[in-house]
Structure 1
């Protein structure tokens, strides 16, 4: 089935959440045998499992962690539902919004975050009004009026636009499959603008990101509409609702070590010695983690290359609860944007307008540097930087969570990005079916972004399997 036909079929809600499926004989009986084995109980895996179960197929869902959700995780602390993984449900997330409605999960605003930024550049705190004429503003004359937080998208907005986001692999766009740093240098962007953009880029670095990838993500943002929401009570509620009907199918703490494919079956072996047999297998693991799994199957060299060389971003977060007696006047109205290890600090107030919560969000090179340290060392660096720029917070915050997605064994990064040259060579093979092996996850679906791409990919892989059983 053509990919666009598949996506069109997703709009039929009767296929989404367990409406009467086909009556199909089970291929095998027993706890470790199934029609389909699904590896990974994140959004893609859970979506696939629900769809196939509704079709009357026997499914086994294997999750390496002791929890479901993958890179979706809500922490509930100090009256705040804070997301450490997937955060935004965009206006264009039609399938996820339909699921939420059918699961009776209301959507709410992302939270009462500050809307303005204060900047810390070269160690000095600078307001937005001060920036254009501040001594620390070393941008070129044509760039000086652009705030550091807006440089990246302003520079991208001057570049080419894809007719459709998924056109990024077309041969005519091959010249864009160079580093974003090289592309910007071609446009005579100043060295200081490059440095500031690199400080908080949602990627490993300007040098390690393909310009074709950057323009693709900008095109998705353009068609996705403005404004985003999240699930009331946290996005983990969405995950749990998807998993509620899969109690018999779901097996947690199952760390897959090998996947074997023969003419009539797929065998999946786990670290604890257990083995699962199925007719087909859907693999939703990020390729960054999948490359640690032995795949004994005749799969294409292009797919093996993609598994071995796909890149994932480094994202590190430190979450702070703010004590009521803190002097928060300097941070209450603004977020903080820095060119140091503090990254960006998002301020969140409660219904009374009091600052309750701060999240330090660090990307790219700064995150990679922190990820080389112990948790306590990384947290102390971020905490000390916060208190340096806001002395009124000294001793008045409590660290409630540290998250390094790059250091998580089963993710090894927050989300996929493509390096120079990889858009033309890897993207066409990310979702390819390899014999009885199917692939899903945000890294395989490029018609949508974020959590929506994971859900759509799970539905697409499940339909591929259903058509072949």
Structure 2
């Protein structure tokens, strides 16, 4: 954990005026606002970087393209109350996030989103998971037949995970494993039927689109969080999403939420920073020399700094013109890093229609709407919350539809006629269609860990990178905070 007092004692701090770039920058620089560090992006990593640099005496400006801070931490006001449609889950191992919540007086509460039992719709039939091993639709062989059809991808990923430590996924010793899930399954001798099923629960964008090393990083970090609660492996009956154990340890369940919505955290961080944060400032150009940079926004405003920190996801940074010395690794990563999508339709269910049709409340499908999550209201009667959750290739496809919401509702009614008239739309969020995000999280294609994954986070002249896409050991919101600590150390060491 970053210790500000130790950092202040050991870092050679320089006053703000001494750090401004001198010769070698573009004409017109005198019109630019001056700062020691310009931070692009007002999400958790950018805001936390600004707070730490401010504590160290740096003059900082944060440029946020949107009308509010938060990035993929997003809380909506809905007819059903506050609703997190972005990052929301805080595990026991989220030490930095928990620490930040304590500092800003934000309260944590156990997440109340237990999922009701799952079923599976496959090839237009409802599958009894208890008898799947003997189902005529089960074309897998041997021990494969015992694996739930909607968990095949995750089961294979978990079984062959070679990572013991959180950073093992970056170890060159595992370079040969920078392959796809399909390639892994072929290597290990899985049947074609098992490979087909694995596509429905492949972590990441898809079984051909995501490196196993990227999948294993996520799984290894999740296992570390579970061990804090004494669970080595999670017993699950559904693909994707962790299960809350509700076992309070030091006042925390395995999954917790911020009271009032997760966006309360970036709001509190921005409030402390004050006018350091500039909203509606979308960056269009970064012009670098070895001595500094000029950052120009599309509204024509410009900022001159000794260092620049970009927290933008590469899905957005690739739209920014960057000039400076060549950096093939960074350029390759910015241009080609893929981004996964998550799209969710948040619903209110007037009454539990699953009692009328006798089918499982929650279900996964091999069709275009992915999963339906029925959420336990702890009474079994009356109104329930629910979500249609689309990830991977399903989410990529739904983002191409302008009629996504009516399409999903009609598909739900087709699959579950008993639901007709009982579903009310609360909210819909498709992160690929968000113009300031264009995805819900970074991915790495097979071969990209070897191509640039180990090195792209290194500074490009005076441009430094942070954000969850630069993670090394953590995931989720915690990886954003992890990255901000790294990038602040980089800047402070160079400034000294």
* TM-score, normalised by the number of residues in structure 2: 0.85
CA positional deviation for 1:48: 0.4
Gapped regions of structure 2 (runs ≥ 5): 21-29, 232-253
CA positional deviation for 1:168: 2.1
The equivalences for 1:60-459 within 5 A come to 60-225=61-226, 227-323=254-350, 327-329=353-355, 334-350=361-377, 352-353=379-380, 354-374=382-402, 377-459=403-485
SS at match of 1:156: helix
2:15 to 22, 25, 50: 25
Instruction: Provide the C-alpha distance between the structure 2 equivalents of 1:322 and 1:14, rounded to a whole number of angstroms.
Output: 51
Distance change >3 Å, CA 23–CA 164, structure 1 → 2:
closer
CA positional deviation for 1:245: 0.9
Deviations 1:127-146 (A, max 9, x none): 43343333433332422222
SS at match of 1:223: helix
SS at match of 2:395: helix
CA positional deviation for 1:422: 0.7
Instruction: Provide the C-alpha distance between the structure 2 equivalents of 1:282 and 1:303, rounded to a whole number of angstroms.
Output: 14
SS at match of 1:202: coil
Instruction: Provide the C-alpha distance between the structure 2 equivalents of 1:14 and 1:402, rounded to a whole number of angstroms.
Output: 44
Instruction: Provide the C-alpha distance between the structure 2 equivalents of 1:452 and 1:269, rounded to a whole number of angstroms.
Output: 30
Question: Counterpart in 2 of 1:5?
Answer: none
Root-mean-square deviation (Å) = 2.6
Distance change >3 Å, CA 183–CA 380, structure 1 → 2:
same
Instruction: Provide the C-alpha distance between the structure 2 equivalents of 1:189 and 1:88, rounded to a whole number of angstroms.
Output: 34
Instruction: Provide the C-alpha distance between the structure 1 equivalents of 2:313 and 2:367, rounded to a whole number of angstroms.
Output: 29
Instruction: Provide the C-alpha distance between the structure 2 equivalents of 1:115 and 1:103, rounded to a whole number of angstroms.
Output: 34
Native 8 Å contact 1:125 1:389 kept in 2? no
Question: Counterpart in 2 of 1:3?
Answer: none
Stretch deviating more after TM superposition (394-403 or 330-339): 330-339
Native 8 Å contact 1:199 1:366 kept in 2? no
Question: Counterpart in 1 of 2:25?
Answer: none
Instruction: Provide the C-alpha distance between the structure 2 equivalents of 1:45 and 1:436, rounded to a whole number of angstroms.
Output: 16
Instruction: Provide the C-alpha distance between the structure 1 equivalents of 2:358 and 2:37, rounded to a whole number of angstroms.
Output: 51
Distance change >3 Å, CA 109–CA 126, structure 1 → 2:
farther
Instruction: Provide the C-alpha distance between the structure 2 equivalents of 1:294 and 1:30, rounded to a whole number of angstroms.
Output: 20
Deviations 1:386-437 (A, max 9, x none): 1222222212212222222122222221111111111112112231012211
CA positional deviation for 1:61: 0.5
Instruction: Provide the C-alpha distance between the structure 1 equivalents of 2:156 and 2:353, rounded to a whole number of angstroms.
Output: 37
SS at match of 2:362: strand
Native 8 Å contact 1:328 1:355 kept in 2? no
SS at match of 1:320: strand
Instruction: Provide the C-alpha distance between the structure 1 equivalents of 2:418 and 2:5, rounded to a whole number of angstroms.
Output: 55
SS at match of 1:35: strand
Question: Counterpart in 1 of 2:251?
Answer: none
* TM-score, normalised by the number of residues in structure 1: 0.90
SS at match of 2:275: coil
Q: How many residues align?
A: 455
Stretch deviating more after TM superposition (390-399 or 58-67): 390-399
Deviations 1:22-59 (A, max 9, x none): 98533279982211100000110011011111222211
CA positional deviation for 1:296: 0.9
Native 8 Å contact 1:405 1:411 kept in 2? yes
Distance change >3 Å, CA 104–CA 332, structure 1 → 2:
farther
SS at match of 1:268: strand
Distance change >3 Å, CA 416–CA 453, structure 1 → 2:
same
Distance change >3 Å, CA 236–CA 107, structure 1 → 2:
same
2:487 to 447, 452, 461: 461
SS at match of 1:148: coil
SS at match of 1:337: strand
Distance change >3 Å, CA 111–CA 55, structure 1 → 2:
same
CA positional deviation for 1:355: 4.2
Native 8 Å contact 2:206 2:393 kept in 1? yes
Distance change >3 Å, CA 381–CA 200, structure 1 → 2:
farther
Instruction: Provide the C-alpha distance between the structure 1 equivalents of 2:447 and 2:13, rounded to a whole number of angstroms.
Output: 46
The equivalences for 1:30-49 within 5 A come to 32-49=33-50
